[in-house]
Amino acid sequence: MLPLLGFLHALLVGGGLARGDLVERPSLCPYPNVVVGPRGKFKDAKDRLEEVGGRANQLEEKRREVFDYMDTLARQKRERKELQVDWSEDAHRRELDEARARRTAAATKAAEVEAARNAAKLAEERAARESSC
């Protein structure tokens, strides 16, 4: 590699440069370890590239969210179809009729129990009146 003395040193020491030879140029920056970024239209292009890269990342995240949502919808649709396939109107009607019959039987039993309590209470009162006379 050529020393950092620049083009003039390469000509004097090396005897000239061939086409395509790399030439080290001294930095005009007073701080040799500082990396100087692009300037002018290249800086604008770099800034736009960063903005577009950020936007692309946002869109990629949005894409993942949409695909997750679509997977959820597809799963729910499959579950709904399975439930509809298993659905039987006759079986449902039978279940409803059985539930109504159980409720009616329970209400009838409750009414019979209440009637028996009232009859027992009346019998006790009658027995109490007869024994007191």
Q: Is 24 helix (H, G, I), strand (E, B) or coil?
A: coil
Q: Would residue 120 count as lying in a domain? A: no
Query: In this structure, what token pair is assigned to residue 66?
Result: 């949409």
One domain for residues 48 and 95: yes
From CA 43, how far away is CA 37, in angstroms rounded? 8
Question: What whole-number distance in Å separates Cα of residue 17 and Cα of residue 11?
Answer: 7
Of residues 89 and 23, more confidently modeled: 89
User: Are 51 and 2 members of one domain?
Assistant: no
Domain count for the chain, please give it. 2
Stated pTM of the model: 0.37
With respect to residue 128, please indicate whether it lies within any of the assigned structural domains. Answer: no
What the block records as the tokens of 133 is: 């006379």
Please provide the distance, in angstroms rounded to a whole number, between the alpha carbons at the two ends of the chain: 136
Write out the residue range of the structural domain in which residue 89 sits: 42-115
pLDDT in tens, 32-60: 565 556 677 788 888 889 999 999 999 99
Higher pLDDT, 14 or 97: 97
86 and 23 inside one domain: no
Nearest to 63, CA basis, from 20, 71, 33: 71
